[in-house]
Amino acid sequence: MQGNGQLSSIVMKLTVLVDNNTLIDRYFSGEPGLSLYIEEGGRSVLFDTGYSDLFVTNARKMGIDLLHIDAVVLSHGHIDHTGGLGPLIRQYTEAEYEGRQYFSPEFIAHPDVLLTRTRGNFRELGSQIAEEKLSRHGRIAFTRTPVWLTENLVFLGEIQRRFGFEAVEPRAAIVTESGEEADALRDDTALACRTDEGLVIITGCSHAGICSIIEQAKDICGDDRIVDVIGGFHLYRATEEHLAGTVEYFRTLGPDAVHACHCTGLRAQIALADAVPIQETGVGLMLEYG
């Protein structure tokens, strides 16, 4: 759907199904991974699947029906974001056996998302599910270009790397039809949602650079106002230059809130808290915008 026309009174709901942490007094479980459930414009979107079947267990406790999601969006191919694809498919298989109704979702991601990823002795750091198998359970929509999922929710496509301080040397390799090559993580991407107050940026790990991701979202959506940024910022191993550049960018950006979680790291969260309102994030968090 094209993202045009005048904005109405928008309500986007976001629930954290998987994160490294859980909220205090919320009796869910966490793991090193990320999975978010998003409702916007009459559609439901599963953003990443975490590392295991934990997102299924937590969703069930929260009363969220994963058999009727419209789209599955993958932020990138690492196993802590795609590991739950197998358990998700198993939900569909079990439903079919039991005669229960379920949707066949659209799978949206960058074309590189299911490539084999290796590093040293690790033979597979990427998805355990190949595209051929995944295509049996829903329509594959792999693209490098932006895709509007609703009138206001957009998949950002391949991210233009804009800031030198965000450049990171590849630590792993991908296996393509041409052979093995350095993994620049070109598949890393994010979502953005337009609201009456501004943009909500939803990211997985931000290997492409969280500042570059936000700038791409601003360009695509035509809005410089940032309501919130939620997801992993991949700053837990950041150099001093990288961290300082990111903090200064956010200081200038002036978002209303920041829910930095997953792979951001405590050191980076403390540094960011000096510039922006960092909010507690964990499994069980439910946010509403607009």
Residue 3's pLDDT is 42
Using the predicted structure, report yes or no on whether residue 1 has a pLDDT greater than 60.
no
Cα–chain center distance at 100: 29
Using the predicted structure, report yes or no on whether residue 94 has a pLDDT greater than 80.
yes
Looking at the chain, the whole-number percentage of residues with pLDDT higher than 90 is: 92
Looking at the chain, the whole-number percentage of residues with pLDDT higher than 70 is: 97
CATH class held by domain 12-289: alpha beta
pLDDT average, residue stretch 64-73: 98
Residue 2's pLDDT is 36
Written in H, E and C, the secondary structure of 92-104 is: HHHHHHHCCCCCC
pLDDT average, residue stretch 264-276: 98
DSSP reduced 3-state for 278: strand
What are φ and ψ of residue 49, in 5° steps?
A: -125, 10
Residue 122's pLDDT is 87
Show the DSSP H helices in the chain as ranges: 54-62, 79-82, 85-98, 131-134, 210-221, 240-253, 266-273
pLDDT average, residue stretch 51-56: 98
Residue 9's pLDDT is 67
Report the side by side order of strands in the sheet with 12-18: 139-142, 106-109, 71-73, 43-47, 35-40, 12-18, 286-289
Res. 8 pLDDT band, cuts 50 70 90: low
Determine how β-strand 106-109 pairs with β-strand 71-73. Answer: parallel
User: Using alpha carbons only, how large is the chain's radius of gyration in Å?
Assistant: 18
Q: What's the rounded Cα separation, in Å, for the pair 18 and 259?
A: 14
Amino acid identity of residue 35, one-letter, is S
Q: Are 210 and 157 in contact (CB under 8 A)?
A: no
Residue 217's pLDDT is 98
Res. 233 pLDDT band, cuts 50 70 90: very high
Mean pLDDT across the chain, nearest whole number?
A: 95
Q: What's the pTM value of the predicted model, to 2 decimals?
A: 0.95
Nearest partner of 150 among 5, 43, 289, 8, judged by Cα: 43
Residue 10's pLDDT is 72
Q: What's the rounded Cα separation, in Å, for the pair 166 and 30?
A: 28
Among the residue ranges 2-16, 67-81, 215-229, 242-256, the one predicted with the least confidence is: 2-16
The ranges assigned to domains in the chain are 12-289
Using the predicted structure, report yes or no on whether residue 6 has a pLDDT greater than 80.
no
Using one digit for the tens of pLDDT, what is the confidence trace for 180-204? 999 999 999 999 999 999 999 999 9
